[in-house]
Amino acid sequence: MQIDIEILFENDSIIAVNKPNNILVYASYFARNITDDDLVTLLKEQTELDLYPIHRLDRKTSGILLLAKEKEFVKDYQQQFENNKVQKHYYAVVRGHCPPSGVIDTPTKNAETGMYKEALTEYQTLEIIELDIPVNPYEKSRYSLVKFTPKTGRMHQLRIHANKISHPIVGDYQYGDRFHNRMFQHEFNWNNMFLHASELTIKQPNSGEQLVLKSSFPADWDKLFKNFNWQKPK
């Protein structure tokens, strides 16, 4: 599979990329049925570097991902994620008209370990729309553009939290609404999950300087902003 991965930033210790939808960060036992190349493999072909993921994104989530060029560089960056010192902003399209803002503090269960951990997400609704397209059981359909700011980094946190407030992310086939997912496919030919890691701020261990990274939206998002007449976040 030939895919050019967009490189957002690179220095002697790390590389930051804009991960496309539907690509695993790295192969694992839990994704053993997926045969497509993972991101680490694709980047090896593209850069000829052996890279080590510092954190992860779900396969269906797009956006900023950091990888280290040497194993010994992982720890200093990874500790910032583990200690919730990294500022992250995501955008999502969700079902329904979401409240203007709020905080979700429901614990989430790790699918790999079965353990519950505290999880906190702040959110802000930026745009809403009502479409004259029926989706079972309603004659019309409503959607919101939401900015999520997770204060913790749990597995599937934003997907679980969006579902918890009854505004699941469009295109999420595990926690979402299958009727709305199908409508987006049939009416617009948009097949990806609408969750994008747009901005990340982390401290560079050697210099102490803040590294601020931003990533562009995938093609489906650009089409949606135009079709829904929504302002694209900067």
Q: Which of 58, 172, 177, 220 is catalytic?
A: 58
* Spatial distance between the Cα atoms of 52 and 140, rounded to a whole number of angstroms: 46
Closest listed residue to residue 19, CA positions, set 200, 172, 210, 175: 200
Three-state SS string over 163-226 comes to: HHCCCCECCCCCCCCHHHHHHHHHHHCCCCCCEEEEEEEEECCCCCCEEEEECCCCHHHHHHHH
Closest listed residue to residue 55, CA positions, set 19, 31, 92: 19
Asked about 76 being catalytic, the answer comes back as: no
Q: Is the peptide bond before 53 cis (omega within 30 degrees of 0)?
A: no
Would you please indicate which residues are annotated as catalytic (active-site) residues? 58
